[in-house]
Chain A
Amino acid sequence: MNRIAIKMLLGDRAKYLSLVFGLAFAVLLITQQGSIFLGLMLRATGILQNIAQPDLWIADPHSEYIGDIRPLDDHDLYRVRSVPGIAWASPLFATRARVDLPDGRHKTAQLLGIDRSTLIGQPPLMLEGRLEDLRQPDAVIIEESSRSKLGGVGVGDVLKLNDQRAVIVGICRAKMGFESNATMYTTYNNALQFTPVGRERMSFILAKVKEGVPIQRVQDTINGMTDLAAFTHDGMSDRTINFILKETGIGINFGLTVALGFVVGLVISAATFYQFTLENLRHFAVLKAIGATTATLIRMVILQALVVGLIGYGIGVGIAGAFSLLGRKPGAELAVYFPWELMVGALASMILTVSAGSVLSLRRVITLEPAVVFK
C-alpha cells in the first residue's frame, strides 16, 4: 500500500506541488532567517572570529562583551605571564581610528595592534605582501574588503590614519565585525602611535596555557586577581552573544521574525496537508470499505506526510544553503552562518509541521465512517 500512498500523493500534481512548496517555503523561512540571525551573532563576536591562537582572553572583569573595552595596565601583562601554567601572554590593542580619504570623506576603521615580536593575533590569511613587513614603521595591513571602503587603495599606498601617516604593506583576509568597518592590523607599538592613549593601553591580553595544564585551573587563578577576568574563546563569544541578545533588542526583534516565519510556514504547510487529506477522505473511505484497516490508512497518511516533508525540506534547505553561499564570499556584506545544527533544527521543525498536519488529518481518517461511500 506504500506504493499506492505515494501514487495518490504524486498523482495530483497541483496539490502535491503546493504541498511541497508550502513546506519548502516554511523550511526556507526558518533556515534563511535563522542563518542570517546566526551570521549576525557571529559577526557580533568581532575580532574573536579571527584570532584563534590563545586559550584565554583576559579583560577587565566588568567588560560585558568583546567590544566593551576597558583598557588594562601594562603591569597586568606581567602578572598574567607570572601565573603558573601560562605558556605565553601577548598584548592586543583594539580601537577605532579615523581614516581620511583623498576626496575629503573619512571612514572609521577597526585598528588592531598585535605583539610586534610574536605577531600573535595576526590576520588569518595574507593575500598580498608579507606579514613580517608589519614590523616596519607606520605599517598597516588592511582586510581585503576594506580596500574599496577606503577608496580602492592597495599595497604601497599611504593613508592618513588619525592624522598620521600609515603605509599599507599587505592585504589580508579576515572575517568582518558587526559594524562592517574597514579593518586594519598593525603592531602594538604602531597602534599606540596612531592612537595615543594614557597609562592603561591594552585592550586584551591573549594568553596560551602550557600543554598538559588544565585551562580551567589557569582561568580560575587569573579570575582570582580581583581586577582581571579570563575567558576562553567560547566563553567570550557566549558572553558577547548573550549581551547582544539581551541588551540590544536584536534578539527579541529577530527572534520574533524567525518565530513568525516558523509559525506562518507551519500553519501553511499543516493546513495544506490537512486539506490534501480532506480532499482524499472519500478515497480513504472507499479503501476502508473494501478492507483497508485504520492502521493501514494511518501508515499511508504518515508516509505521504514524510515524503512531502522530506522533499520540501530538501528544497527549502537547498535554497537557503545556496543563499548562504552569497554570505561566504570574502568581504560579503551579507551576514550568514549556516551550521549543521540549523539544518537539524529545520528538520525538527519540518517534522513538527508535517506531524501537526498529519495529526489533524489522521483524526479525520481514524473517525472516518466507511458508510460515506454511499453518499
Chain B
Amino acid sequence: MTAAQTQTGGPPAIRLRNITKSFGKGRAAVHALRGIDMDVASNQLVMLVGPSGCGKTTLVSIISGVLDADTGTAEVFGVNWPDLSGAAKTKRRGELVGFVFQQFNLIPMLSVVENVAMPLLVRGEPMDRALDRAAAELNGVGLGDRVTARPAELSGGMQQRVAIARALVGRPRLLICDEPTANLDGHTGQHVMDLIKTASRGKAGDEKTDGRCVVVVTHDARIFHYADHIEEMEDGKLKSPSKVILEEARHVPHYDREANGETNGNGGATDKTK
C-alpha cells in the first residue's frame, strides 16, 4: 500500500513488507499478522483501526521495534529493525521512537518532570539538563506549573499530557500512540489529540523532527478526523481500500461537535478531576 507515499512523493518513513507474526506453536498458534505491506509517508498522522484482536497492537509493536516480526522487513526512517539486535536496537529505538500509551505508564514514584526526562536520562544526558528540557516540554503541553507533582496527583488527561511530553522530549521522528484517548473524556481527548496532531508536524527548523510521522492505534471514531490516513485491520491483515473509513469518519460526530453540545453516543463528560 503506497497511498501515503504517493501523496508526498518522498521515501516512506515507515516501510513494512510481508510482516508476519504468530504467538504460540502448533495447533495453539495464533497468527496475529498475516503478511502486512504498508508504507507511511513523512509528516503523516496515520491511524490503525479495527476490532479488538485484529493485530493493531502487534503491528505497532513491530513498527516501534519493541517486538520482532517472524518474517519480513520493518524499516523506520531507513532503520531496518531486524538488522539490529540487543543494545543497538534499544538505543536506536530510544532515539527514533516516542510512545504514548493507553495506561499512560508513568512511574508513580517519580515526579512529573522526572518522568518526562526519562528518555533523555536513559541516553546518558546529565540530570540537570534533562530536567530543564523536560520542564520546557511540560510547559509546551500546558503543565509547566505541575513539574514537581507526582502522577497520582494529576487527572487522567493531565497524565496523558505528561506522557505526550515524555514521548516528545527526545525529539523522536516516530510517535506511536496506543489508544491515547481510550481512558479520557471527550473534551480531554480532544485536547490530547490536538497535541498529538501538532506533534505530527514536528518543530519548524528542527532537523531531528522534520518529517515526523505519527501512528495512532484507536477504536475511538471521534478522533478519526485527525488522521491524514487510516488503515483498517482485520484478522491480521490490512483491509483495502481504507479511504472509505476516512470518508465515513467525516460523518461520525467528533469532539468538536461534542463540545458544541451535539451527541455522539460515546459518552463525553468533561474531565472533572482536571
Contacts and interface: CB of A to CB of B under 8 A. Distances in A.
B109 A291 contact: no
A63 interface: no
B205 to A, nearest CB: 25
B5 to A, nearest CB: 26
Given A12-B109, A371-B61, A374-B101, A291 B95 contact: yes
Interface in B30-85: 57, 60-61, 64, 66-67
Contacts of B64: 289
A10 B57 CA distance: 33
A293 interface: yes
Interface string B81-103: 00000110011011101110100
B232 interface: no
B114 A4 contact: yes
A5 B92 CA distance: 22
B87 A294 contact: yes
A2 B101 CA distance: 25
Contacts of A291: 90-91, 93-95, 119, 122-123, 170
A97 B98 CA distance: 86
Contact of B90 (A12, A286, A288, A371): A288
A286 B118 CA distance: 10
Interface in A1-25: 1, 3-4, 7-12
B118 A373 contact: no
Contacts, number: 86
Contacts of A1: 121-122
A375 to B, nearest CB: 8
A234 interface: no
User: Interface SS of chain A: helix, strand, loop or mixed?
Assistant: helix
B142 interface: no
A296 interface: yes
Contacts of B101: 286, 373-374
B231 to A, nearest CB: 17
A348 interface: no
B78 to A, nearest CB: 18
Given A287-B122, A296-B122, A371-B66, A8 B127 contact: no
B244 interface: no
Given A290-B119, A292-B94, A369-B67, A374 B109 contact: no
A283 interface: yes
Given A3-B127, A12-B109, A287-B118, A374 B57 contact: yes
B259 interface: no
Interface in A271-295: 282-283, 286-295
A8 B119 contact: no
A290 B118 contact: yes
Given A11-B109, A287-B118, A291-B123, A374 B60 contact: yes
B183 interface: no
A210 B153 CA distance: 79
Given A1-B121, A369-B67, A293 B90 contact: yes
Nearest to A295: B87
A370 interface: yes
A372 to B, nearest CB: 9
The bracket for how many chain B residues form the interface is 20 to 34
Nearest to A4: B121
Contacts of A9: 109
Interface residues of A, number: 28
A287 B87 CA distance: 13
Given A289-B93, A291-B95, A8 B110 contact: yes
A9 B121 CA distance: 17
Nearest to A292: B122
A296 B124 CA distance: 10
Interface string B112-154: 0010001101110001000000000000000000000000000
B241 interface: no
A210 B110 CA distance: 70
A364 B28 CA distance: 25
B110 A371 contact: no
Nearest to A9: B109
Nearest to B67: A371
A366 to B, nearest CB: 11
Contacts of A11: 108-110
B107 interface: yes
B105 interface: yes
Contact of A292 (B86, B90, B108, B114): B90
A147 to B, nearest CB: 59
Contacts of B109: 7-12
B122 to A, nearest CB: 4
B108 A293 contact: no
Given A3-B127, A7-B109, 10 more contacts: A1-B122, A4-B121, A9-B109, A11-B109, A288-B66, A291-B123, A293-B90, A295-B87, A369-B67, A371-B61
10 residue pairs, one from A and one from B, having the closest CB atoms: A291-B94, A11-B109, A292-B122, A370-B66, A371-B67, A371-B61, A293-B87, A291-B122, A371-B66, A286-B105
29 contacts: A3-B127, A4-B110, A8-B107, A11-B108, A11-B109, A11-B110, A12-B108, A12-B109, A286-B101, A289-B93, A289-B99, A290-B97, A290-B98, A290-B166, A290-B170, A291-B90, A291-B91, A291-B94, A291-B119, A291-B122, A293-B87, A293-B122, A294-B86, A294-B90, A370-B90, A371-B66, A373-B105, A374-B101, A374-B178
